[in-house]
């Protein structure tokens, strides 16, 4: 499933790169000069492909995907929401995409995974900061976990319908939802003192 979803992302990369190229050719997208004097044409950048494909957290993945829309959502929804900022952003994004149930399942799953990722990172990451080897192990585990989360989360967006999506999730025993909920509910909000000391 991870490989198939990676191939699906390629069509979005192609469309976004083509749109960026069209804007640059039209003279749009100029973002000024860099410190070394070269031109920066990145103002209409929609995706950081390397960032999406090599990320070790859901937040980095989301920050690298659909960058312009994310900046707009951050300014208009996330920073203005009183509570549940992440859920508000994903709800607006689902509504923006349309009315297929798959969009709402995908975006609510994404909100759950972002919150679970925050909990796991706050609680578990300090245990892996003792040596370079443990940091590499943590990065490898989170890389694989992020790939699985992304693939699992995107399935409803490809299926669109509620019942077939639930059937796919049930065939996998909703294991990612269960792990995400467990991380959000059972992991403490702050790292333990033992984790801070190590």
**Enzyme catalytic residues:** 66, 97
Q: How far, in whole angstroms, is CA 120 from its chain's centroid?
A: 15
Within 10 angstroms of residue 73's Cβ, the number of other Cβ atoms is: 19
Residue 47's beta-bridge partner residues?
65
- Structure-token pair, residue 125: 């990451």
91: which residues sit within 8 A by CB, 6+ positions away?
107, 108, 111
Nearest to 8 by CA among 157, 177, 169: 157
């Amino acid at each position: 499933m991870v490989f198939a979803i990676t191939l699906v992302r390629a069509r979005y990369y192609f469309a976004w790169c083509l749109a960026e190229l069209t804007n640059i050719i039209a003279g749009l997208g100029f973002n000024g000069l860099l410190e070394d004097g070269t031109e920066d044409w990145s103002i209409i950048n929609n995706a950081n492909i390397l960032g999406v494909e090599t990320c070790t957290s859901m937040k980095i993945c989301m920050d690298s995907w659909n960058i312009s829309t994310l900046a707009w959502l951050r300014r208009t929804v996330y920073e203005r929401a009183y509570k549940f900022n992440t859920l508000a952003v994903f709800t607006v994004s689902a509504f923006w995409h349309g009315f297929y149930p798959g969009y709402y399942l995908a975006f609510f799953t994404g909100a759950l995974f972002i919150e679970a990722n925050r909990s796991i990172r706050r609680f578990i990451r300090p245990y892996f900061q003792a040596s370079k080897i443990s940091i590499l192990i943590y990065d490898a585990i989170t890389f694989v976990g992020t790939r699985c989360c992304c693939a699992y989360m995107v399935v409803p967006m490809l299926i669109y319908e509620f019942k077939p999506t639930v059937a796919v999730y049930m065939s996998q025993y909703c294991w990612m939802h269960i792990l995400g909920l467990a991380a959000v509910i059972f992991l403490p909000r702050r790292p333990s003192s033992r984790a801070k000391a190590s």
